[in-house]
Amino acid sequence: MRVLLTGSAGFIGSHIAEALAAAGHEVRELDTRGGEDAGDVRDADTVARRLRGVDAVCHQAAMVGLGVDVFDLPAYADVNVRGTAVLLAEMARSGVRRLVLASSMVVYGEGAYSCDAHGPVSPGPRSERDLRAGSYEPPCPVCGNPLTPGVVQEETALDPRNVYADTKVAQEHLAASWARMTGASVTALRYHNVYGPRMPLDTPYAGVAALFRSRLERGEPPLVFEDGQQRRDFVHVRDVAHANVLALEALEALDRGRSRLRAYNIASGTPRSIAEMAHALAEVYGGPEPQVTGGYRLGDVRHIVASPERARSELGYTARVPFTTGMAEFAGATVSVSR
């Protein structure tokens, strides 16, 4: 299969390029950092040229991270939303009807919770007043009592809480509309906390694992926000790359005319607390031990844990890199300056 891979020079995209090539597929790359082959997904003429003769598109190009402040809004909308719209329009013109879209767990917002009195509920954004007071767990929106966090499924309602999440939801909605209008097939892979070699470091948009590693390399302790008990699912980048290969091959096997978007959680299936991850990374480095600061970022969520069961049953995806092995590798991995 001939695949156009956007964002091919990035952290995740570069691993996908290798995984596709290893699986026997031909990769056509598109990235603003692609040297002589550089191209921008927002440039319709460039996209049209790269689409000629391809069988499918794997769309990874994006501006990532929570965002620094409100002045990031135009850049996120331009790269993530307009860039995706341009790509989809040119795919329609070129007759390319298979798309794997890089989505994210951030589309779920605060995740799944239940109240003893009111059952499943969707808590609102945590207030700065509560966070400042050290009250980190979201309360029941009905009675204010403590909630029990659960596991999000793909059918969980989308509830974005920051500008990056907003644009990821917009990408999914645009792709779903494109599929309905063209009779195409879309697979949206909702990545959880991806880490591994080539992860960008020392940028305000870096992931928490990268920020911790940067401090440890300087001999400084990782600074853990809140009380460190917020939970995430850390999934290795090679597992994410493998999921993309599986998704593209599954689309190739589908009959045309599905005309819908199918989403999958791409996670390890074994959640960890942020403090647990920080300690695991510090142990590899031999210290210093993480410091729990009580700090916070508005727009962060408390717990987001998902089931990868649909990806396992429908795509054949299972995370293969153990957490301890992945963290040890990440500690000694090559530093990247790209996102």
3-state DSSP: the chain helix, strand, coil percent, rounded to 5?
40, 20, 40
Q: How many Å apart are CA 241 and CA 219, to the nearest integer?
A: 31
Catalytic residue among 113, 164, 191, 264: 164
Which of 103, 186, 210, 101 lies closest to 152 in space, CA to CA? 103
Tell me if residue 164 is catalytic: yes
Structural contact between residues 300 and 271, judged by C-beta atoms closer than 8 angstroms = no
Structural contact between residues 252 and 98, judged by C-beta atoms closer than 8 angstroms = yes
For the record, the structure tokens of 226 come out as: 């809140």
Structural contact between residues 12 and 102, judged by C-beta atoms closer than 8 angstroms = yes
Q: ω into residue 141 within 30 of 0, thus cis?
A: no
| Contacts with 155 (C-beta within 8 Å, 6 or more apart), sequence order | none
Per the rule left: phi > 0, alpha: psi between -120 and 50, beta: everything else, 191 is beta
Q: Which amino acid is at 176?
A: A
Q: Which residues are catalytic?
A: 164
